[in-house]
Structure 1
C-alpha cells in the first residue's frame, strides 16, 4: 500500500514540475538571441531557427533547465525516484538483480554528469551535481545491497551445513 502512495505522490510532483518547467521555458519565444544556443531539438529538425514557429516544445525544457533550473531539477529528481521505485517494485524479491539495476543506473547517471561537467550555465552546473550525486548514491546503494545478499547467502549456507 505504501508503495502505491509513493507512486501517486511522485507522479503528481513530476506532472506539476513538468508543467511548471514547460511554462517557464516558453520564455524562449521572447528571447531570439538565445535561439542559437538553447534550441538543440529545433536545430536538429529545422536547421537554424529563424522564427518562433520553428521552436520545438522540447526546447522549452532546455531553456528552462539553463535559466530557471528549479522545476527541471525537481522533474529530474522525481523522474529518477520514480524509476528507482519501479525497479524496486519489480525486482524486490530478487535483491541481486536490483543491485545490478542500481549499478547500471548509477553508471548512466555518471555518464550524464560527464556531459554537463563544463557547462557555463547555472542550470548546467546544477544538473552536473544532481547526476553526480545521484549516480554516487545509486552505486553505493547497489554495492551495499549486493554485499548484503552475499552475506545473507553465506549465512544460509553455513546454517545448512
Structure 2
C-alpha cells in the first residue's frame, strides 16, 4: 500500500472519529431540556430522563446541529469507497457495485427523511443526495473503466 493511500486512510479515519465524538457531544445537549428531548422522537422509550441510547443522540444532532453528522457521513462514505478501491484493486466491477450500493442506500435514506420538518434534516437530505451523486459518478467511472479494460483483451 502506498503512502498516498495510507495518508488518505488516516485522514478519513481521523475526520470520522473526530466528527463522531463531536456528534455525541452535541447530542448530549438534549439532556439539558426535556422539551428538546421530546421533540426528537428518539428510539428510547424509557421513563428515566438520562437513559438515552447513542442513536437518540445521533438523531437529536441530525435534527438540530447537522454539521458534524454530515462530516461523519461524508468521511464514512469516503472511507468505504477508498477501502473498496484498495481492497478490490483491478476488479472494477466490484468497485462499481460497491459505489452503486452506497448510492442506493443514500437515496433510500434521503427518501425516508424527506417528510421531516426540521432544517437540519433538510441539510442532511441535501448532503445525502450530493454524496449519492458523487458515488454514482465514481461507480459509473469504474463501470466504464471495466468496460474499456475488457475491450483491450478482445
Same fold (TM over 0.5): yes
Match of 2:32 in 1: 30
Match of 1:71 in 2: 68
**Distance in 1 between the 2:55 and 2:113 partners?**
18
- Any runs of at least 4 consecutive aligned residues in structure 1 with deviations exceeding 3 A, and if so which? none
**Distance in 2 between the 1:23 and 1:86 partners?**
28
Number of equivalences: 152
Match of 1:111 in 2: 108
TM-score by length of 1: 0.86
Give yes or no for the alignment of 1:126 onto 2:94. Answer: no
Deviation at 1:105, TM superposition (A): 1.3
Encode CA deviations 1:76-125: one digit per residue, 9 max, x unaligned. Answer: 11111111111111112211111111111111111111111122111100
- From the two aligned structures, give the one with the greater helix fraction: 1
Between structure 1 and structure 2, the one with the greater Rg is: 1
Give yes or no for the alignment of 1:153 onto 2:153. Answer: no
**Distance in 2 between the 1:144 and 1:85 partners?**
14
Give yes or no for the alignment of 1:3 onto 2:5. Answer: yes
TM-score by length of 2: 0.90
Deviation at 1:153, TM superposition (A): 1.5
Match of 1:142 in 2: 139
**Distance in 2 between the 1:73 and 1:97 partners?**
26
**Distance in 2 between the 1:53 and 1:144 partners?**
48
1:91-106 to 2 correspondences below 5 Å: 91-106=88-103
Encode CA deviations 1:32-69: one digit per residue, 9 max, x unaligned. Answer: 012333152212xx3xxx43222223211211111111
**Distance in 1 between the 2:122 and 2:131 partners?**
14
Gaps of 5+ in 2: none
